[in-house]
Amino acid sequence: MTRHILLADDHPVVLQGARMAISFADRDADLRLHEARSTDALLTHLQRQPCDLLLTDFSMPNGRFPDGITLIRYIRRHFPRLKVLVMTMLNSPALLRAVLDQGVTGLFDKHRPLHELRTAVEHVSANREYLSPSFALLLKTHGTSALLDTPLSQRELEVLRLFGQACSGREIAERLNRSEKTISRQKRTAMEKLGLRHNGELVEYVRRVGLNGS
């Protein structure tokens, strides 16, 4: 039976490296690798061609459909049988846990050598959870960090992540399909929960806890 794996990333070099790292052409003639360079292309492909596994970047800001947790949540809801392996450079325990809470099967650290990606794909294909060693250590070490103890919602975490990438309120609203008023309220509520008084403190906090990764 032919297996289909969809590779999604907005950087062609990453797609090429991922394809080379996980290609089983010499061992598995029935494997088919597909590519998508935006959230829109990713979802269109899944609607047209069912896949067994999705290997996707966490941050793909160039599509009309939102990236990040919103994208993962949508995929898990509409394609529940699809195995999902997320690639990211995040170093925030809270956001990594938020991604895992969506029901993904694996998290791969994009700082790691790409040849390790093959191991990640093999684990996820066999229905085994995979965490890059760096992520596993981060979650173990900071499992009770101040950020995790603060009751930020996943929506608030997403707003702070994009704010940390220097996105304006309007840009965040467009990317998350929410109103500017809603974004402003979620940002303000998050700052109140964290005890932050102004944007300068928020920028420093986001940088310090690693919420500005991709």
Q: 150-209, which class in CATH? A: mainly alpha
Each residue's pLDDT, cut to its tens digit, for the chain (214 residues) gives: 788 999 999 999 999 999 998 875 445 668 899 999 999 999 999 999 999 999 999 989 888 898 888 899 999 999 999 999 999 988 878 788 888 989 999 999 999 988 899 999 999 999 999 999 999 998 888 654 444 456 788 889 889 888 888 889 999 998 888 999 999 999 999 888 887 888 888 887 787 776 766 6
Domain layout of the chain by residue ranges: 3-141, 150-209
CA distance 12 to 7: 11
CA distance 213 to 145: 18
The values of phi and psi at residue 5, to 5°, are -120, 130
Among 12, 24, 1, 211, smallest CA distance to 117 is for 24
CATH superfamily of the 3-141 domain: Response regulator (3.40.50.2300)
